[in-house]
Structure 1
Amino acid sequence: MSLNEAIELARGNRYQEAFPYFEKAYQGELDSFNEWSWYFYSKTLGKIGKLEAALKVNHFLLKKKPDFAPNLNLYGWHLHKSSIKNADNEEKLLSAANFIVKHTKQEQYSPYERTVIEVLKFMKDKPNTNYNQVLYWTEQLDPKLLNQEVFSFTTDEGKRMEIASPLEFWYQHRIRALFETKQYEGCSSLVDEAMSAIKSFHYSNDIWFRIRQAVSIGQLGDVEDAIVRLHAIGREKQYWTVYQELFHLYIQQEKFEKALEMGSFALLEKSGEFKHKIKLLVHMGFALEKIDKPKEALLHYCFVVKLRADNNWPIIPKIEDRIALLQQEESAPNNIKRELIEFWKEIKLQSLPKGTGKVKSLLPKGNAGFIESNTGEDLFFQVRNVRTRKIDVNSKVNFHIMNSFDQKKQRESKEAIEIVVI
C-alpha cells in the first residue's frame, strides 16, 4: 500500500513525507504504477530538489504515454527550471524551449507562456540580438491570450514597483523586432494596436513605440509626417535618440543646417554616453564636410577615433582616411571634447529664442522653479541649467527658451535653459 500512501501525501503537497513511500513502492509495487503514479512520483522528486531524477521519470512516462497532458506540462516545468530559468547556455535553453512549445499549450498552469517570455529576455540580453529569432519567438505567443495585469511589489526600501504585463512585454519585443528587421509597415500598424490595447505603460514603452512608428513612417516615404511626430515626442521626452532620428531625416532632405542642429541636441543630451553616439558623430562629420566646414568635421572624426581607442575598438579605416586628408589643411586642438561641446552649444542656442526675466519661485527641494519673463510668461526651469552663480527668488536672469512638455498637466509648455544670473 506504499504507492497509495505516497500518492495521497503528494496530493496534499507533503512531498518530503511522500518520497520514501514512492521509493519503497518503486522497489516492490512497480507493476501497480500507472500514469498518475509516475506523474506524482516525478512531481515529488522535483519538489524535493531531485530534478534530474524527476526529468528521467518524465521522459520515461512520455514514451509510455505520449499524450498524457499532465506529464507534458510537468515535464515542461522541470525543463523550465533546469534549462531555461536563469539560463547561460543558449543551445540547452532553445532545445528545452522548443520541446515545451511543441508539447504544451498556451494556457493556465502550462509552462508555455513563461518559457517564451524567458527566451525573449535571453535574446534581448545577448550582445548582438538576432531580431529574426525574436520575431519567431513572439510568433509563438497568441497576444489575445496574454494577461494585461501588471505585477507590483514593494522593495526592501519600501518603494512600490511595477513590472509590465505579459501583453505589454510582447508588444515591446514584437515592435522592436519588426523595426530592426525593417518591416516598417507591420511595425507602424502594431504600434497603433499597442497604444490602443495597453492601459498603462512601463519603461517609457509608449515613447519608444511612437519613436519607432515615426521612423517607420519616414522609411515608408512620408518624411514630413515623421519629422512632425518626432518633434512632438521630443517636446515630451528629451531623448537623444529622438534628435538623432531627426538628424537622419533632415539629412535625407538635404537640410544640412537643420540636421546639424538636431545632431547637436542629441550629442548634448546626457541620456546617452558618447560611446553610444559614435555613428552620429561620424555622420555629423560627413554633414559638416557637405557644407564646407572641414575643421569642425575633423574634430568629430578625431573624437570618434579617441572614443574607439578608449573602448579598445578597432579604428574605422574610412575615418582614418578622412582625418589624413583633412589634416593637410587643418589641425585638431588638444581638448577635442571641450571644443566640440562649445560648438554644439553654439548651434543649439542659435536655434532657440532668448528671454529676460526674474525668478518667480523655487520649488521646495530647490532643484527647479519658475521664471517670470519680461513678456509676462511663466517658464519652468531646472537649477542644473543655471550657468553662473547661485540663483534665488527675484534674481534677474537671461535665458534661452526651449519647447517642453508638462508631464503633470499633460500639455506642451516652455522651459528656460542656459540661464545666466545678471
Structure 2
Amino acid sequence: MGGSLGGQKDFALALHYLDLVQPEPLSAEAGETMSGNKKISLASPKEKWYCRRVKCLCELARYEECIAFGEEALKALGSFHNNSDSWIKQRMAVSLAGLQRFEQAEKIANEIVRGGFRNWNIFHLLFDLACREEKFDDAFKYAGMCAVADNSHEMRVRFYGALAEFLDSQGREREAMLHRQLIDVLRQEKNWKQKKDENWQLPEEIAALSKADVLKELQPLWSEWCNIGRVFASGRIEKILPNGSSGFIRGEDGRSFYFSFKDARCRRDKLQPEAEVRFALEERLDRKKNQWKENAVEITLP
C-alpha cells in the first residue's frame, strides 16, 4: 500500500496479502506509544486489518464490496483509534458516490462532519456532490471548508483544479485564475511536473504572484464561503480548560458552549478569559457522552 515493493502503490496486491490473513485470530487489544509524557493508544492488529481492507476495496473501485465490508467492520470493531471509524465511513461514502447513489453518500459524509471529523477529504467529497446536484451555495461552503481545513495546500492540488473549473462556470474568472496560480506555485515549490491539463495561460499580473500573495487574497474568500448560511452570535470566553486546547464561551443569552481552538479564526493568544468573541453554532457529537451538543465554531474577535 506504500509502494515499497514496486515504487507504486499496488492495492490489488495489498488486498491479495490481506485476504491471506484470517481476522479472527488477530489481537483486538490496542497498542500504546509515548508522545512526550503522554500515552497514546494505537489501533489493534484487527482494527488495522479491517481498515486497510476497506481502503483497498475503495481504491480498486470495488464499491459494492467496500460498502458491505465497511458495515461489517463498523459492527466487528468495538472501539476505534485515529478516527478509523470516520475513515471507514468516508470510503463507504466515496463508494456510494461512485455508484451514483449521491443522496446516501451525502448523508454519510454529513454524519462524519457532524461527528467532529473535519478532514479536507470529506469536504472535497461534499463539494463534488453539491456540484453534481447544482447546489451552488453548498458547493461554495464546502469548498471553503476544504481549503481552510489545514495548511497542507499541496495535498489539495487536484481539488483546487476542480474548484477553478467550478468558479469559471459561475463567472468568477479572477478567483479561478488565482486558484490556478496557487497550483502553479505549489508545483514549483515541490518541483512537480506540470500535467497536460494544467497548461493554462494566466495574465502577467496573476502569474507574478507568490504563494504568500495568492493565499493573502484567497484566505479571506475561503473564510467568507465557510460562513454561507451561518448565523453568528456574540459572547465572552468563560474559561479555558486545563488541556489548553478547548474551553467554554458564554453567549449573550446566558448559555455556555464548548469550543475547540481548532475552530478559532484568530490568534489563540487573543482568546483569553473574558475576551469578547463572535461565533456560530454547530451541532457536534460529544463522543465521551455519546450526545449531540451545540458547539461554538468559527470563533473570531468582534
Using the size of structure 2 for normalisation, the TM-score is 0.87
Q: Could you say which residue in structure 1 is the equivalent of 2:63?
A: 184
Q: How does 1:125-136 map to 2 (within 5 A)?
A: 128-136=8-16
Q: What's the secondary structure of 2:270's corresponding residue?
A: coil
Q: Could you say which residue in structure 2 is the equivalent of 1:289?
A: 168
Q: How does 1:296-375 map to 2 (within 5 A)?
A: 296-321=175-200, 323-324=201-202, 327=203, 331=206, 334=209, 335-375=213-253
- The answer as to whether partners of 1:299 and 1:336 remain within 8 angstroms in 2 is yes
Measured after TM superposition, the shift of residue 158 of structure 1 is: 6.0
Higher alpha-carbon Rg = 1
- The answer as to whether partners of 1:256 and 1:287 remain within 8 angstroms in 2 is no
Higher strand share: 2
Q: What's the secondary structure of 2:294's corresponding residue?
A: strand
Measured after TM superposition, the shift of residue 307 of structure 1 is: 0.4
How has the CA–CA distance of structure 1 residues 130 and 365 changed in structure 2, closer, same or farther, with 3 Å as cutoff?
Answer: closer
Distance in 1 (CA, whole Å) between partners of 2:300 and 2:143 is 24
Q: What's the secondary structure of 2:216's corresponding residue?
A: helix
What is the number of residues matched between the two proteins?
296
The reply to whether residue 193 of structure 1 matches residue 98 of structure 2 is: no
- The answer as to whether partners of 2:33 and 2:42 remain within 8 angstroms in 1 is no
How has the CA–CA distance of structure 1 residues 390 and 273 changed in structure 2, closer, same or farther, with 3 Å as cutoff?
Answer: closer
In the alignment, structure 1 segments of 5+ residues that lack a partner are 1-119
Measured after TM superposition, the shift of residue 268 of structure 1 is: 0.2
Q: How does 1:4-403 map to 2 (within 5 A)?
A: 128-144=8-24, 146-150=25-29, 152-153=31-32, 155=34, 159-235=38-114, 236-270=116-150, 273-321=152-200, 323-324=201-202, 327=203, 331=206, 334=209, 335-383=213-261, 385=264, 387=266, 390-403=270-283
Q: Which amino acid aligns with 1:343?
A: L
Q: What's the secondary structure of 1:351's corresponding residue?
A: coil
Measured after TM superposition, the shift of residue 416 of structure 1 is: 2.4
How has the CA–CA distance of structure 1 residues 365 and 132 changed in structure 2, closer, same or farther, with 3 Å as cutoff?
Answer: closer
Q: Which amino acid aligns with 1:412?
A: W
Structural RMSD (CA): 2.7
Q: What's the secondary structure of 1:379's corresponding residue?
A: strand
Q: Which amino acid aligns with 2:219?
A: I
Q: Could you say which residue in structure 2 is the equivalent of 1:91?
A: none
Runs of 4+ in 1 over 6 A off after TM superposition: none
Distance in 2 (CA, whole Å) between partners of 1:168 and 1:177 is 14
Q: What's the secondary structure of 1:170's corresponding residue?
A: helix
Q: Give identity over the alignment, percent.
A: 25
Measured after TM superposition, the shift of residue 163 of structure 1 is: 4.1
The reply to whether residue 408 of structure 1 matches residue 288 of structure 2 is: yes
Q: What's the secondary structure of 1:200's corresponding residue?
A: coil
How has the CA–CA distance of structure 1 residues 125 and 268 changed in structure 2, closer, same or farther, with 3 Å as cutoff?
Answer: farther
